[in-house]
Structure 1
Amino acid sequence: MPDRRQFLTSLGGTVLGSALGLAPSSADAAPHRGAPPNVLFFSIDDINDWIGVYGGHPQAYTPNLDRLAQRSTMFTRAYCSVPLCHPSRIATMTGMRPHSSGVYTAQIGWQDQIPTAVHLADHFRSHGYETLAGGKVYHHTDKFGPPGETWLWDHQLFPPRLVHNPNLDGSLNGLPAIRGFDWGTPDAPEEEYGDHKVVDWCLDKLAQPRTRPFFFAAGLFKPHLPWYAPRRFFDLFPPQDVVLPEVIEDDLVDVPRIGWRMVERYTRTEHVSTYGIWDDAVAAYLATIAYADDQAGRLLDGLAASPHADNTIVVVWSDHGFHLGEKLHWEKNALWEEATRIPLFVHVPEALALPGSGTGGQVSGRTVELVDLFPTLTDLCGLPTPEQCDGQSLAPLLANPDAPWDRPALSTWMYQNHSLRTERYRYIRYRDGTEELYDHEVDPLEWTNVAGHPDYADVRAELEAQLPAHDVAVALDPDVDPETGETLGLRSYPNPTAGPATVEFVLREPTEVTVTVFTVHGRRVRQLADGRPFAAGLRTVEWDGTDDAGATLPGGLYLCVVRTPATRETRRIVLLP
C-alpha cells in the first residue's frame, strides 16, 4: 500500500468520483436566486485522517463519510486554528484566529475575552435564519456551555452525559484511566449512548417542515476519549491485527525544548509503554471512529430523506486531529501534522446553483483552515461577512479545486507558538524563537527538522515573514494543563542529558527496588536494578545511556520505571545524541 502522504498527494486536485469509479456530475456555478439555502454544520470531535477516503489508516472503516465524499468537495489539506477543543471551536464559530482573539486554551472563556464578537449562528439568526444545535458544538463543559451559548439557538440539545464515566464508574479496560484514557463497551443499549441521542434529536428536527431557512449545528462527541462504542464496532478491529502508526524512537531529538515539553506534559506515552497497549489503543480509536461514522450515516440519511435535502449545504469538519504514537505523542495539543490536520467536506446540492453545486467527488489539495468556514457560508448564503473574520471564503475552491490559492494554513498552540502549513512545508516557530521545518515532499511523516539546514534558509525566511505580526497577550501558566486547569507534575530526571543520568527515588522504609529503562514502545533496553535491597531515604541509581550489552543508545526519549513491591513510578529521560 502506498504511504499515506503519497496517497493524499495523489488525490490533490483530482475528481474523487473518478477514483471511485463514478462519473462526476457537472454544473455551471451561478449566483443563487431561489430561497436562501439551509446549512447543516456537522462536527465530529477529535477525528484525524483515519477515514477511508483520506487514507490515514489502511483499516479505517468509514463507509458513510466515504459516501459523502462522492458528492462533496473534499479538502485534503485542511487545518485547525488551535489543536484543542474549546479554542478551536471558538475560532471556527467566530472566524477569529487565536492570535486575534486571545482565546488560546480552555482556561480562557470567550465571554470575557471577546464579549462583542459576532458568532456564526447568531449572524445567521440576525439575518432571518432559525438556529438549532444538537450535541457538542462549542466546548461541552459548564464553563463554556450553558448559559454562555443558549442565546445563540432557537432550539438546543446540550450533549448528554457520558453513558459511562471512567473517573466515577471505573475504567472498562482494566487499567488506570489517566485523563479519560479508557476504552470498551459500556453496559447500556446503543440507544442510551450520548451521540445516538443527539442524532435522534437532530433527525426529529430535520423531519419537521420549517417556515424559515435554518442554520443547524450538530456535533458528535466521539471519537473523543474515552473511546466507548458498542461491541460490534470493536469486533471489527482485533488488537492483534491492527496496523500501528510508523514511528521512530529518536523522533524528538531534533525538536526544540518547547516542542517536546508539549509531549512530556502528558503521561499517556508512559501508560501505553508500561502496559504494552499500543495495539489495543489503536484498535479502540478505530472502533470509535467506525461508531461515529455510523452515527454520521444516520444523520446524513435523515437529511436525504427530509424535505430539506435539495436546499441544504452540508459542512462536515473536526476541531483538530489526534496523535496515536506519532512524534511519540498521544494527544492533540501540539503543532505537528497529526494534531492540526482535519477532515473537511463541503456538499452543495446541485439545485442551489452555487459554487460547488453538483461537483460531487472533487478534491482540493489547497491549504485551508477552519476560520475559512465562516466567510464561506456567508458567501454561499448571500450574507455579509463580519470584519472580524480572519479567514477567506472557500467558494473559489468549490468552483475550481485547483484555483490559485497562495495562502498557508496557520495553527497556534498557546501564546506565540505558531505553525504554518503550505502544500509542501510545515514551519513551526515557538515563543522562544526556536524552530522546526519539515519538507513533506521528502519527509511526509515529519521526522527530520531542517530548520537549520542552509539549503532551506530561503524557505524558512519566507515562511517566518508570514507569521502573525501581533499576538493578543493573556496570562498563561506553563505548568497548568491548558485543557483541564490541573497543575502538571512532571517527573523528568534529567532533561536532557548527554552523560550519565541520575535517577532519584525516596523510600520510607527499607525495601527491594527494581529500576528498568524502556523505549517509548515498551522495549526493555537496560536493567539498572533488579530487586536490589535499598535502605530508607533518598536513593539513586545511574544510567550511562547504554543498553544491557554496553552499546550506546541513540538519542531520544526513554522511560525509566522504578518499582517496589508496593509502588510504581515512570520517569522520562531524554538523551541527546
Structure 2
Amino acid sequence: MKYLNIKYLLLGLFCLNLASYAKRPNVVLITIDDLNDWASCMGAYPDARTPNIDRLADSGLLFMNAYCTTAQCGPSRTAMLTGLDANTTGLYRNEDYWKVRFPGLQSMPMLFGKAGYAVYGTGKVFHGNTQKQIQEYCFEKDWDEYFVPNDSPTPRINNQPVHPMEDVKPWIDWGGIDTDDSEMFDYNVASYAISKLEANHGDQPFFLAVGFHKPHAEWFVPQKYFDARPLEEITLPLYKANDLEDLPTGAFKLTPNDPIFQRLNEKGWLNGAIQGYLASVDFMDVQVGRVLDAIEENGHTEDTIVIIWSDHGFHLGEKEHWMKHRLWERSTNTLLMMRVPGKTTAKSVHASPVSSLDIFPTLADLCDLPKRKYRWDGYSLSELLTNPDWKRPKPVLTTQATHNYAVRSERYRYILYEDGGEELYDHLTDPNEWNNLAHDSNYDTIKTELSLHIPDHKIKAPRYQKEFNKRAKELQNLTLLK
C-alpha cells in the first residue's frame, strides 16, 4: 500500500507539472537587425510608416527609451540572449561567439527548453544568419528546430555595386530588385514562423524566435517598396554644421571622419540611401505583419507573449555619421515593445530608460522559468506590468569596443572614452545631442553621479582560446549565484 501511495503521489506531481507547463504562456520574440527608432509609433521621424509594428505597440506596452548594451550586432545579441553584459563576459566584437567560448552559459532558448517549452528559431537571432554559421557555432543545440532560408539576406543586382564608393569599405548599397517578396530571406523567415504558429502543439508551450535581417544593409528589396518612397519625398534627418567641433579627442579615436557619410554627401546620394533604408524597413514591416496575423488567426492572442526588439540603433547622417558602432543616442536607442496577455494595457507607454539586458529576466519571471546558476546583469520588468511608476534601479550602460562607455539616465547621456574624454548631453533641452556640456562646471555633479555606473573593473576582450579559457574560469566566480 505504501508503494502504491508513492506511485500515485509521483503521478500526481507529474500531472501537476504538466498542468503548470500548460498554463505557461507561449513566447514569440521578433528580433530586427539595424532598426533605429524610425517606427511611426516612436515619433522620431516624420515619414516613418510601420503600421504592423505599430499594431503591437497599440495593443501592449511600448518602451520609448530602450537601449542596447553595445551598438554592434554580435555583442548586443549575446548580451540580450544570455542576460550578461559585455563587461561581464569580455565579448565586445562580432567575432566573439559566446557559444564557442563559454559553452556552459545558459541562453534564452536553452532555459526555455529546460522549462519544457518547444523551442524554435529562424533567421538572424544570434549573430549569424547562414546555415553554416548556425552549425559552426553550435547554436542549433539550443533549439528543437532552427530554420535558415537559403536565400541571401543581402541580394544584389547582377552581383555588382549599384552605387560604388571607390575606396570606402565597408560601403553600403541599395536598389529596387525585380523579384517578389516570396523570394526574399525575410519572407521565408516569416513563413517558417507562420508554420509553427499554425501547428498543433498540444498542451506544450512554445518559444519561437523570429529574426528579421532587414533593414540591415545592403538595401535591396522588391522595387515596389522603392516606388512607394519617391526620392523627392524623402526627408533628411536634422544635421548641424560643425556638429563635431565640441567633441573630445577620444571621440575621434572611436569616431574618425566617417567616409561613408562624406562620400554619400559628395555624390548627392543621401536621399537615395535613406530611400533604401526606408524601403527595407517597409518590406520588413510587412513580414512582421504576416507573423502578427498568424498569431491572431491561430488563436494565440490570449496565450502568447509577443516582443519586438531591435539589436541597436542606426545613424543616417546625424552627427556626420553613418551606420552604428557609436555611443550617441541614435546608435544606442532601440525599439522595444511587448504584449503580455492579461498584464499589459493597450497603448501603454514607458518613458524611463530600460536595457536590452532586461528582456531575459523579464521573460524568466513571466514564464516561471527555472532558476539558472548565473545571475542577471539586467532587471526584470515584470513589476512594471502591475506598477506603472516602477523605474529601473540604475541608468542604462552601453559599451563600445573596450573601455568606452555611455550612461543614459532619464534626462542625461554621459560618455566616457578610454582616454578620459567626455561628453554630456541634456536630452530635455538637446534631444539631438548637439551641445556637449562635459566641460561646463555647472554639470560636474551630474557627471560624477553618472560616472558611478561605469564599471570599475577593466575587462579586456579575449583574443585567443587560452585567454577565453582563463576568462571562463573568472566568469564562473563573477556570475554564479551564491
Bin of the TM-score, shorter chain as denominator length: 0.7 to 0.9
Q: Is the deviation greater in 106-115 or in 162-171?
A: 162-171
Residue 317, structure 1, aligned to residue 330, structure 2: no
CA distance in 2 between partners of 1:434 and 1:249 (Å): 22
Residue 134 of structure 2 corresponds to which residue in structure 1? 145
Select which of 64, 72, 77 maps to 2:52.
64
- Is the CA contact 2:151–2:183 (under 8 Å) kept in the aligned structure 1? no
Tell me, what secondary structure is at the counterpart of 2:245? coil
> Is residue 2:418 matched to residue 1:431?
yes
CA gap of 1:385–1:410, structure 2 versus 1, over 3 A, is farther
Q: Measure the CA separation in 2 of the matches of 1:33 and 1:147.
A: 32
Per-residue deviation, 1:141: 5.7
Deviations 1:87-106 (A, max 9, x none): 10000100001000111011
After superposition, give the CA deviation of every residue in 1:439-460 in whole Å (9 maximum; x if it has no partner): 1111110011111111100000
For 1:261 and 1:406, how far apart are their aligned partners in 2? 32
Is the Cα–Cα contact under 8 Å of residues 26 and 207 in structure 2 kept in the other structure?
Answer: yes
The alignment partner of 1:252 has SS state of helix
- Measured against aligned partners, the alpha-carbon deviations of 1:388-413 in whole angstroms (never above 9, x if no partner) come to 32010011222233324342111110
TM-score w.r.t. length of structure 1: 0.73
Q: Given the alignment of the two structures, is residue 411 of structure 1 paired with residue 398 of structure 2, yes or no?
A: yes
Contact 2:21 2:116 in 1 (8 A): no
Following the alignment from structure 1 to structure 2, what is the Cα–Cα distance between the partners of residues 159 and 78? 30
- CA separation of 1:333/1:167 partners in 2, compared to 1, >3 Å: closer, same or farther? farther
In structure 1, the partner of 2:16 is: none
Q: Which position in structure 2 is the counterpart of 1:360?
A: 346
Shift of 1:107: 2.5
In structure 1, the residue matched to 2:270 is: 278
> Aligned partners of 2:302 and 2:185: how far apart in 1?
29
What are the Cα deviations for residues 231-250 of structure 1, in whole angstroms up to 9, with x where unaligned? 22212221222111111121
For residue 282 of structure 1, report the CA deviation from its aligned partner. 1.3
CA distance in 1, matches of 2:159, 2:213: 19
Of residues 247, 251, 268, the one that matches 1:255 is: 247
State the Cα distance separating 1:118 from its structure 2 match: 0.9
Aligned to 1:16: none
Are 2:438 and 1:448 aligned?
no
Closer, same or farther: CA 306–170 of 1 in aligned 2, 3 Å: same
Residues 334-387 of structure 1: CA distance to partner in whole angstroms, max 9, x if unpaired?
00000000010110123xxxx42xx11100011101110010000001124433
In structure 1, C-alpha distance between the alignment counterparts of 2:157 and 2:251, rounded to whole Å: 29
Match of 2:51, as an amino acid?
Answer: P
Q: Identify which of 465, 468, 473 aligns with 2:455.
A: 468
The Cα of 1:266 is off from its aligned counterpart by 4.9
Does the 8 Å CA contact 1:207/1:307 hold for their aligned counterparts? no
> How do 1:191-270 residues align onto structure 2 when only pairs under 5 Å count?
191-211=182-202, 212-264=204-256, 266-270=258-262
Distance 2:272 2:157 in 1: 20
**Bigger Cα Rg:** 1
Give the Cα–Cα distance (whole angstroms) in 1 for the partners of residues 247 and 328 of structure 2: 11
The CA distance in 1 between the partners of 2:245 and 2:257, in whole Å, is: 17
CA contact (8 A) 2:77 2:127 kept: yes
Deviation, 1:261, is: 3.2
- Report the Cα distance in structure 2 between the residues aligned to 1:182 and 1:100, rounded to whole angstroms: 36
Contact 1:43/1:316, CA 8 A, preserved across alignment: yes
Task: Report the secondary structure of 1:225's partner residue.
Answer: coil
Q: Which fold has the larger relative contact order, with Cα–Cα distance below 8 Å and residues 6 or more apart in sequence?
A: 2
**2:185 and 2:391 mapped to 1: Cα distance?**
42
| Alpha-carbon offset, residue 305 of structure 1 | 0.8
Q: Which runs of 5+ in 2 are unaligned?
A: 1-19, 465-482
The worse-fitting range, judged by mean Cα deviation, of 173-182 and 256-265 is 173-182
> Alignment partner of 1:253: what SS?
helix
Whole-angstrom distance in 2 between the partners of 1:348 and 1:89: 22
- Is 1:55–2:43 an aligned residue pair? yes
Change in 2 beyond 3 A, CA 1:263/1:145: farther
- The match for 2:284 is 292
| Deviation of 1:49 (Å) | 0.7
Distance change (3 Å), C-alpha of 1:163 and 1:188: farther
Helix, strand or coil for the counterpart of 1:145? helix
Structure 2 CA distance for partners of 1:34 and 1:224, relative to 1, 3 Å: same
CA 1:400–1:228: 2 relative to 1, 3 Å: farther
Distance 1:233 1:414 in 2: 35
- Distance in 2 (CA, whole Å) between partners of 1:460 and 1:64 is 40
Deviation of 1:312 (Å): 0.6
Amino acid at match of 2:174: W
- How big is each residue's C-alpha offset from its partner over 1:7-61, in whole Å with a ceiling of 9 and x where there is no partner? xxxxxxxxxxxxxxxxxxxxxxxxx996111100111111011111101110111
What whole-Å deviation, never above 9, does each CA across 1:93-145 have from its counterpart, x for those lacking one? Answer: 00001000111011222134323211010011011111100111011266853
Instruction: Tell me which residue corresponds to 1:396.
Output: 383
Matches of 2:70 and 2:400, distance apart in 1:
6
Q: CA RMSD in A?
A: 2.1
Q: How many angstroms apart in 2 are the aligned matches of 1:201 and 1:180?
A: 31
Partner Cα distance (1:462, 1:163) in 2 = 44
Identity of paired residues, percent?
37
1:521 aligns to what?
A: none
Residues in 2 aligned to 1:476 and 1:260: alpha-carbon distance in whole angstroms: 24
Q: Looking at secondary structure, tell me which structure has more strand per residue.
A: 1
Q: Give the TM-score normalised by the residue count of structure 2.
A: 0.87
Aligned residues: 440
Query: Quick one: distance in 2 between partners of 1:436 and 1:147?
Result: 40
**Equivalent in the alignment of 2:159:** 169
Letter in 2 for 1:197: N
Q: Tell me whether 1:82 sits opposite 2:70 in the alignment.
A: yes
CA–CA distance in structure 1, aligned partners of residues 103 and 258 of structure 2: 32
Higher helix share: 2
Task: State the secondary structure of the residue aligned to 1:471.
Answer: coil
Are 1:252 and 1:260, in contact at CA under 8 Å, matched by a contact in 2?
no
> In the alignment, is the contact (CA less than 8 A) between 1:117 and 1:388 conserved in 2?
no
Contact 2:92 2:401 in 1 (8 A): yes
After alignment, is 179-188 or 284-293 more displaced?
179-188
Contact kept in structure 2, 1:263 and 1:328, CA below 8 Å: no
Q: Check the 8 A contact 2:84/2:377 in 1, yes or no.
A: yes
Amino acid at match of 2:426: D
Match of 1:184 in 2: 175
